[in-house]
Amino acid sequence: NAGVMQNPRHLVRRRGQEARLRCSPMKGHSHVYWYRQLPEEGLKFMVYLQKENIIDESGMPKERFSAEFPKEGPSILRIQQVVRGDSAAYFCASSPLEAGQNTEAFFGQGTRLTVV
C-alpha cells in the first residue's frame, strides 16, 4: 500500500499564474486534509474533505483558493493568480476515518510552492 502521494514535489510559478497541487490518498482512505507550512511556523489547517464533499474549509483563504476531492481521482488544491505570499510547503494527509480520535493521519511529502 503506497503512502500518500503528492505531486509535484516542487512547483515554481510566476505571480498571477495558477498552481494545482495533487494528492492521492492511501488506498481505502476517504478523508483528506490539506495543511500549509510557512517558514518558522507549524502546519496550519486549510481544508478537510471527504469524497465529493467539503467538510470544513475554515482555514482556506476566501479568495483564489479552492479544493476538491472527486469521486474518482486525486484531491486537488488550486490556487489562482498566485502571489509571493503563497510560497510555502503544502501538505496533504489522509485517513480511513476522521483523523484524530483513535485514528492517525498519514502525511504526504508535501509540495513546495515557490512564487517568483
Partner 1 sequence: AQSVTQLDSHVSVSEGTPVLLRCNYSSSYSPSLFWYVQHPNKGLQLLLKYTSAATLVKGINGFEAEFKKSETSFHLTKPSAHMSDAAEYFCVVSDKASGYSTLTFGKGTMLLVSP
Binding range to partner 1, per CB under 8 A, among 18-26, 60-68, 75-83, 108-116? 108-116
Q: How many CB atoms lie within 10 A of CB 98?
A: 14
Site string for partner 1, 50-89 (x = CB under 8 A): -----xx---------------------------------
**Omega prior to 61 cis, within 30 of 0:** no
Shortest Å distance, C-beta 79 to partner 1 = 20
Binding range to partner 1, per CB under 8 A, among 19-27, 37-45, 60-68, 71-79? 37-45
How far is C-alpha 78 from the geometric centre of its chain's CA atoms? Answer: 9
Q: Please say which residue, 45 or 66, places its beta carbon nearer to partner 1.
A: 45
Residues 6+ apart with CB under 8 A from 104: 95
Residue in 2, 27, 28, 41 binding partner 1, rule: CB under 8 A: 41
Q: Please say which residue, 45 or 64, places its beta carbon nearer to partner 1.
A: 45
Q: Please say which residue, 87 or 109, places its beta carbon nearer to partner 1.
A: 109
Residues 6+ apart with CB under 8 A from 73: none
CA atoms lying within 13 Å on the CB side of residue 111: 26
